[in-house]
A = this chain, B = another copy of it.
Amino acid sequence: MRLPQFADIQNAHSRISPFIHRTPVLKSMQLNELFNCELYFKCENFQKVGAFKFRGATNAVLLLSSEEKLRGVVTHSSGNHAAALALAARMNGIKANIVMPENAPAVKKIAVAGYGAEITFCKPTLQAREDTTCRIIENTGATLIHPYDNFNVICGQGTASLELLQEKEDLDIVIAPVGGGGLLSGTSTYVKGMNLNIQVFGAEPLNANDAYISFNSGILTKSDNPVTCADGLLTSLSDLTFSVIRKNVDKILTAQEDSIIECMLLVWERMKIIIEPSSATVLAVVKENPGLFTGKKIGLIISGGNVDFRKLPF
């Protein structure tokens, strides 16, 4: 299995830079005082479509051959990757077909449709999603762009850390949330490639701790219908992301639901920026493990800011 390398992420950044936002790195004196450390928030909630997913989707789309571009792309997702692939495809004149469960929230259907993708609805089971996706690929020859089990997607996601380290290179630790592991794979590959002395941690909800279990047991383990407010982190690692994470990540830390919600609210209140629960997980592990972080300079990858304001967890 070929794993992404440092240079792949550098190349991805050159490739996608004209298409993405360079998001800010923000600080908060109040939060630094509260947690007794220096926090540097890489704010992908300000990325296009409101999430880092646009980086990976754009890199994958730009690397299609001319023939593949003509046949279009497909994915099954109801989350940020769906919107990201839809917009990345549209910006490059490529057709996108998004397979979504028929019970997906209206707000997500509208977002994906608004970016010009065709939506194919299916029953809300994994089997139905995969069958529907296969049928589309057979009928159209479209290329599947998986949300995280994809080399080029991982390289795109790693570019957030490249920009973070360009702005603040002397970090002690970088923390990224981990669901399927695409962001953590790209993050850890880039950070360790730059400086082996920077520790890289994954942050995962305790209620969806498959990466924690897999990492510590050495055996890839899947979550079974996890329930967490961090709805971007429900997925489990793939062979590819597990391999990268075992090689490059120092530690997976878990966070309890009430910590995640408390930290989401803290960021909203003190920093006046909107982050989604999945993003709050990185701050929640700092809160739950003060011994690991006191006095340290810590980069936090804030993964996104897409929230249903009518269903807040607080």
Contact = CB atoms under 8 A, between A and B. Distances in A.
A275 B46 CA distance: 15
Interface in A208-229: none
Contact of A269 (B269, B272, B273, B309): B309
Given A272-B45, A272-B46, A309 B314 contact: yes
A312 interface: yes
A265 interface: yes
Contact of A309 (B50, B268, B310): B268
A99 to B, nearest CB: 25
Contacts of A310: 314
Contacts of A56: none
A305 interface: yes
Copy number in the complex reads 2
Interface residues of A, number: 15
A155 interface: no
A43 B9 CA distance: 33
Contacts of A273: 272-274
A10 to B, nearest CB: 27
Interface in A151-187: none
A98 to B, nearest CB: 20
Nearest to A44: B272
A312 B314 CA distance: 11
Nearest to A304: B272
Nearest to A269: B309
> A45, A268, A269 — which one has the most chain B CB atoms within 10 A of its CB?
A269
Contact of A272 (B265, B305, B312, B314): B305
Interface in A259-285: 265, 268-269, 272-275
Contacts of A268: 274, 309
Contacts of A274: 268, 272-274
Contacts of A265: 309
Nearest to A272: B305
A119 to B, nearest CB: 20
Contacts of A275: 272
A273 B45 CA distance: 10
Contacts of A272: 45-46, 50, 273-275, 305
Interface of A: 45-46, 50, 265, 268-269, 272-275, 305, 309-310, 312, 314
18 contacts: A45-B272, A46-B272, A50-B272, A265-B309, A268-B274, A268-B309, A269-B309, A272-B273, A272-B274, A272-B275, A272-B305, A273-B273, A273-B274, A274-B274, A309-B312, A309-B314, A310-B314, A312-B312
